[in-house]
Amino acid sequence: MFDAPIDTVTLWAGVGAVSVAVLTVIAQAPTTAPPAATATAAAVDEVTTSPAGSVERRPLRAQYWSLDGRQLGLQNEGGTSHATLHRVAIPAGDRRLGQVLDGAGPETVFSSPAEFHQAIDQARNRSRNTRWWSAPDRLTARHVAWGDVDVTLVG
């Protein structure tokens, strides 16, 4: 009279199995949205189309970033997003280009426009071989012109 019918035990076992499956799916869902590569690319594009001397700083909510000419990528635990730039931008991957990105005049860091151009070519080649870099807290884009060199540095 007080025994549980066999159907009730089967029902509770089924409910328990479904609950575990739902919790597993929820636990694996990302807790963060993928970073906004399109908005970041728009900020870089604004600088590339502005006069030399233009600078834009944008907070990044990404763990890693990549830039290969016109393709910008951002990655965090929520996923990866990519956006295409309208014009080519170069990652400031070495110390001297980083100084120019931070506001130093290229003429104070490089001995000639040709040396500046060579550093840009090396950075462009490095960006093709490096997939992802650790992302800074904010991404800076700076349009620089010196001699016959006209470039947008990003870092």
Report yes or no: 85 and 140 within 8 Å, Cβ to Cβ: no
Query: Is residue 64 classed exposed, middle or buried when 0-12, 13-18 and 19+ CB atoms within 10 A define those classes?
Result: middle
pLDDT for position 34: 87
Question: In this prediction, what percent of the chain has a pLDDT beyond 70?
Answer: 80
With b meaning 16 or more CB within 10 Å and e meaning fewer, what string describes 102-120?
Answer: eeeebeebbeeeeebbebb
Question: Is the pLDDT reported for residue 109 higher than 90?
Answer: yes
Work out the pLDDT band at 130, boundaries 50, 70, 90.
confident
Split at pLDDT 50, 70, 90, the class of 29 is low
Please state, in angstroms and rounded to a whole number, the distance separating the CA atoms of residues 7 and 12. Answer: 9
Rounded mean pLDDT, 72-80 = 95
Q: What is the mean pLDDT of the chain?
A: 87
H helix runs in the chain, sequence order: 6-28, 37-48, 95-101, 106-109, 113-129
With bands split at pLDDT 50, 70 and 90, how would you rate the model's confidence at 83?
A: very high
Rounded CA-CA distance 88/137 in Å is 22
Side by side, which strands form the sheet with 55-59? 55-59, 138-146, 149-154, 90-91
Answer yes or no: are the C-beta atoms of 101 and 153 closer than 8 Å.
yes
Parallel, antiparallel, or unpaired: how do β-strands 64-68 and 133-134 relate?
A: antiparallel
Phi/psi region, residue 19 (left: phi>0; alpha: psi -120 to 50; beta: rest), is alpha
Region 15-36: what's the mean pLDDT? 66
